[in-house]
Structure 1
Amino acid sequence: MSQLDWQKSSFSGDQANCVEIRTGAAGLVELRESDDGDLILRIAPSSFADFLQAIKTGELDQHA
């Protein structure tokens, strides 16, 4: 992935409301919502890996 290429999940299809990701400056992972491209979240790769692991294990699921 180059520093300028935004990518989205293949599960998103042609929809415009998805999260896009790329590798940014200094190797940081950058995330943005496709319909609000000016707001970019930058996170260290190790923290992003921890975030993904928390999603996969359900750690961030909200329980009623």
Structure 2
Amino acid sequence: MRTHPWRKSSYSAQGANCLYVSAPGNATIRLRESDEPDTILTTNPTALGALIRSAKAGRLDHLGTA
């Protein structure tokens, strides 16, 4: 089984709280956080793109409020 490298997000600073991304195939994207490397979120490019566009547009800002 071929392993695919994890790449650290360019927005992650040195140290903890880093986001890592791996794309083992055209239809799969894997995400993990440095604090919980065994917990992996699997998605596809379309869904991840929609999430990123929503976050950039501020449509998810209400989720951070108590």
Moved over 4 A (4+): none
Matches within 5 A, 1:6-17: 6-17=6-17
Matches within 5 A, 1:14-25: 14-25=14-25
| Map of 2:35 onto structure 1 | 35
**Distance in 2, Cα, partners of 1:50 & 1:10:** 20
The answer to which structure has the higher helix fraction is 1
TM-score computed with the length of structure 1 as normaliser: 0.78
**Distance in 2, Cα, partners of 1:38 & 1:28:** 17
How many residue pairs were aligned?
62
Q: Secondary structure at the match of 2:61?
A: coil
- Gapped regions of structure 2 (runs ≥ 5): none
Percent identity over the alignment is 35
Query: 1:2-51: CA deviations, max 9, x gaps?
Result: x6111122232321212111103563111111121111000111000000
- Gapped regions of structure 1 (runs ≥ 5): none
TM-score computed with the length of structure 2 as normaliser: 0.76
Q: Secondary structure at the match of 2:11?
A: helix
Q: RMSD of aligned C-alpha atoms?
A: 2.0
Q: Partner letter of residue 41 of structure 2?
A: L
